[in-house]
Structure 1
């Protein structure tokens, strides 16, 4: 393999890296929180790998070598002036859940692409696509970490790298790595939902979650606010990255939904399509305005469901529909 990589044969190199492209993009996504940025970063990382191919000496696996390059590519991007201004300060939230509205660059990741990145259950790196480290709540919490702490946490706690390997990849000492990991874990705990420790490690939405999603979709299409009320937890929250809006509580959410669903200012007839993002149930919403022949894409809702109720809705714009293989019009 070393000889093949050093040979400068682009076709051979492309075949080797293509086996890891999807999982490297998921890694970049965890680092950056943005699906669009992750596409750009994995391209940049693979370009760097080509130019640095002679640095691969076979002392680690080719996969680990690529992860090292991808991690440092993301760190370089996060050190840039635009992303540095965007990253929130890591601070104690005083027991209050952080809002995804505070992460304007947050985007969902289509499940069909996670499937392409996921190894079989028997492989040691299957955990790399585990649900508990790809859900939106986890991704948002990770964004509060300084870039180097974020990289340490992902390499150690998500990918399961040994401490010496992670320290070498990040070019830091073992004591520095351990200190960064402790601080990262402490910060992460302040930003995750209170009940996260009880979430199961299932890979895909459960039967209960799918049933709640179906009821949610049917109620939306009927503009059935009574059923939607029953499906929302009292302390439910809805956010709409990149907009700064945050609707806290069931009453606030329903007050926002009501005029667009019923009454003289209602947008029209609603149609929904089930999908999945970040291993969470999701729904694409379409509306047919009065007098129009087609249903046009409106938004994408990613749901966090706990104990049979919707606890959180994160709403994204229709510009993401192509990534989810969703039509712009029905």
Structure 2
């Protein structure tokens, strides 16, 4: 989010303010998404105000934004753990392209790419709201401590302490292993192998692509599965239920990571309905995390509208 643009709108110049707000819409949406973790909630906040950070903090405290837990059509195995960040949603890379390529402030700590990856955004969701806002304003956007203190209605001393705790918390969710470069042959090959294994229901092939510490998450369901054995148990139950049905994937990108819109159809059906959005988190030459966003409405945010005919799918 620009650090100087809003000063250009003078009091009483309503049209100028609206034009300015639209100009920075992409930056604001991304700023709100980092804090909220939900694309839909971020869109709602941007609609309401240009000064978005405090509105995001209020939204985080609103229990009504927590989605209801979906009921699976089969009996899943016991999860490794249950998580609270069930509102998490993916962010289309096409929207990232709409963000102005302004350099962050000199005190920024994280590059724009890593600050929108799912692990980073998930880490923000697990912090107290003020910690998350402080980390984004200081270490992602590069605002000076004095300005952040003014925005959040506190002191520079308090901001320093909050930032130290936030940095320690976010590092626990980041992985030091490098991922293949976006769009590289290595990334495309790993994504293709996952798609082939997933659509064919080959549990062993899927698990063979995972790191030893891999995990599977499925927002808005709170279930998480950690390690090859737990993930394999879940996929056996899931693939067993869907086996009479046709599954197809359409490649896209989310949070700068490879992703797929997943479609399901009954045998003999001429169209496939969207059921989820899958995002892969890569580490070295393996998959560290598979995040399945169980919302059939999400593909439309990625430019994929409605059911697909068989010829349109992979």
Which residue matches 1:223?
201
The question of whether the paired residues in 2 share the 8 Å contact of 1:32 and 1:143 is answered with yes
Give the Å deviation of 1:207: 3.5
Give the 5 Å matches for 1:107-186. 107-119=89-101, 123-124=103-104, 130-186=112-168
Q: Which residue of 1, 8, 26 corresponds with 1:22?
A: 26
Which residue matches 2:71?
none
Give the Å deviation of 1:81: 5.4
Q: Which residue of 44, 65, 83 corresponds with 1:40?
A: 44
Which residue matches 1:310?
287
The question of whether the paired residues in 2 share the 8 Å contact of 1:101 and 1:239 is answered with no
Give the 5 Å matches for 1:318-329. 318-329=296-307
Using the size of structure 1 for normalisation, the TM-score is 0.78
The question of whether the paired residues in 2 share the 8 Å contact of 1:114 and 1:129 is answered with no
Distance, in Å, in 2 between the alignment partners of 1:260 and 1:78 is 32
Instruction: Judge which range, 213-222 or 238-247, deviates more.
Output: 213-222
Which residue matches 2:84?
102
The question of whether the paired residues in 2 share the 8 Å contact of 1:34 and 1:108 is answered with yes
The question of whether the paired residues in 2 share the 8 Å contact of 1:99 and 1:239 is answered with no
Matching of residue 280 in structure 1 with residue 254 in structure 2: no
Instruction: Judge which range, 14-23 or 246-255, deviates more.
Output: 246-255
Distance, in Å, in 2 between the alignment partners of 1:79 and 1:271 is 38
Q: 1:10 to 1:176 in 2, by over 3 A?
A: same
Q: 1:110 to 1:291 in 2, by over 3 A?
A: same
Q: Which has the higher helix share?
A: 1
The question of whether the paired residues in 1 share the 8 Å contact of 2:180 and 2:282 is answered with no
The question of whether the paired residues in 2 share the 8 Å contact of 1:205 and 1:279 is answered with no
Distance, in Å, in 2 between the alignment partners of 1:260 and 1:180 is 42
CA RMSD between the two structures: 3.0
The question of whether the paired residues in 2 share the 8 Å contact of 1:235 and 1:249 is answered with yes
User: Secondary structure of 2:157's match?
Assistant: helix
Using the size of structure 2 for normalisation, the TM-score is 0.81
User: Secondary structure of 2:52's match?
Assistant: helix
Structure 2 unaligned spans of 5+: 69-79, 309-314
Aligned pair count reads 289
**Deviation per CA, 1:59-117, whole angstroms, max 9, x where unpaired?**
xxxxxxxxxx2112212333445469x9xxxxxxxxxxx97843111111111011111
The question of whether the paired residues in 2 share the 8 Å contact of 1:280 and 1:304 is answered with yes
Give the Å deviation of 1:43: 1.2
**Deviation per CA, 1:303-330, whole angstroms, max 9, x where unpaired?**
1111211111111121211111113311
Distance, in Å, in 2 between the alignment partners of 1:33 and 1:118 is 20
Q: Which residue of 229, 235, 248 corresponds with 2:226?
A: 248
The question of whether the paired residues in 2 share the 8 Å contact of 1:286 and 1:296 is answered with yes
